[in-house]
A and B are shown apart, each in its own frame.
Chain A
Amino acid sequence: MRTLAVLACLGALSSCISLNWSRDTRFEPPPRGALASLRPGESDLARCLAVLGAPLYVAEHRVDGLALAYGWYESAAKGFGFSIPLARRTSASFDFDRIDADMKGCVLILDPDGKLTLVRKGRLRAITADLGRRRPASLED
């Protein structure tokens, strides 16, 4: 009887209190040494794409320059968390403007001739802050 009461209490508690351990991984970091193999002043767009693959997003940099942003994310909570769900969870979607908040990443800046001029590493949002909004293209034929 006592066991049943304990189980019932635990069952009721589970709807408002939970101990969570979660891990979230998104995309993959570049292969080891890949970023170091790119040399400002020497590497071009083709080389950058061959080494790092498709960027997460692309933006125009100044006039006719280019910025390629790569990002990856891993949150691995080692302990248990304690949470009380006060708000409904919204569904996860891939909004490329929002997911970069906690992402690690790198940005490659290329000049109008397509030569790599600068490599930045760090939190994606911080290192892309000065790039401004991506300009949507006109879809005229």
Chain B
Amino acid sequence: MPTRSMLGRLVLTRLMLARLMLARGLLLSSLLAAPGCFLSRTTANEPISPALVARLEPGRTTAGEAASLFGAPAEVIQLGRRSAYRYDHTLTKRAGLALIVVGLFGSDTHADRVWLFFDEKDVLTHVGATLRAEDAEYALPWERLEH
């Protein structure tokens, strides 16, 4: 006939065993999940400074001055006698989780992009700027993007 103290010890031992199993389970799942996580960041070109964009003056800034401010354009387009320069910087943030055979991946790309339009005398006529590269986010597929 088991005594009360023996029953108590048995319950305690079972409880400890359950805790040990749980700890092992958690450790194993952490070990399995850990090698499959990644965050990566890919950039193209240098970020475009809003301060530099603000220094452009349509009607005054020349193509040469624009080139000395921003450097060589990524693209030059001939528009009849006029031309347009493109400057851009792209930022891609990727997040992934690979759990044995299940892969969850999210990729978000945004850009800083500036187009400068010049007349036939190479004087700036228009500027189009979108500076959103920093809006790129690390997010898995179910996560809501803020932008």
The digit string for A10-38, where 1 denotes a CB below 8 A from any CB of B, is: 11011001111111111110000000000
A22–B77 CB distance below 8 A: no
Interface flag for B141 (CB, 8 Å): yes
A134–B100 CB distance below 8 A: no
On chain A, the number of residues with a Cβ less than 8 Å from chain B's Cβ atoms is: 46
The digit string for B14-56, where 1 denotes a CB below 8 A from any CB of A, is: 0000000000000000001000000000101000000000000
Residue of B101, B104, B115, B141 with most partner-chain A CB within 10 A:
B101
Interface flag for A136 (CB, 8 Å): yes
A23–B127 CB distance below 8 A: no
Residues of B within 8 A of A138 (CB): 78
Please report the C-alpha to C-alpha distance between residue A98 and residue B98 in the assembled complex, in whole angstroms. 28
User: With A46-B126, A53-B130, A137-B77 in contact, do A27 and B110 touch (Cβ < 8 Å)?
Assistant: yes
A136–B103 CB distance below 8 A: no
A45–B117 CB distance below 8 A: yes
Q: List 23 A-B contacts (CB under 8 A).
A: A7-B32, A14-B101, A17-B101, A18-B101, A18-B103, A22-B104, A23-B107, A23-B139, A25-B145, A26-B109, A26-B110, A28-B110, A49-B115, A54-B113, A56-B113, A57-B86, A58-B77, A64-B80, A66-B79, A77-B141, A135-B77, A137-B83, A139-B76
Residues of B within 8 A of A93 (CB): 44
Interface flag for B102 (CB, 8 Å): yes
Chain A 33-84 residues near chain B, CB threshold 8 A: 45-46, 49, 52-60, 63-64, 66, 68, 76-77, 80
Please report the C-alpha to C-alpha distance between residue A13 and residue B113 in the assembled complex, in whole angstroms. 43
How many residue pairs link A and B with beta carbons under 8 A? The number is: 117
Chain B 128-147 residues near chain A, CB threshold 8 A: 128-130, 132, 135, 139, 141, 145, 147
Residues on A facing B (Cβ under 8 Å):
7, 10-11, 13-14, 17-28, 45-46, 49, 52-60, 63-64, 66, 68, 76-77, 80, 92-94, 112, 134-139
User: With A63-B80, A76-B141 in contact, do A23 and B106 touch (Cβ < 8 Å)?
Assistant: yes
Residues of A within 8 A of B108 (CB): 25-26
Chain B 73-121 residues near chain A, CB threshold 8 A: 75-84, 86, 90, 92, 98, 100-111, 113-115, 117
- Closest B residue, CB atoms, query A134: B77
Contact of B109 among A7, A22, A27, A49 (CB under 8 A): A27
A55–B128 CB distance below 8 A: yes
A53–B147 CB distance below 8 A: no
User: With A26-B109, A27-B111, A137-B83 in contact, do A94 and B78 touch (Cβ < 8 Å)?
Assistant: no
B126–A14 CB distance below 8 A: no
A11–B100 CB distance below 8 A: yes
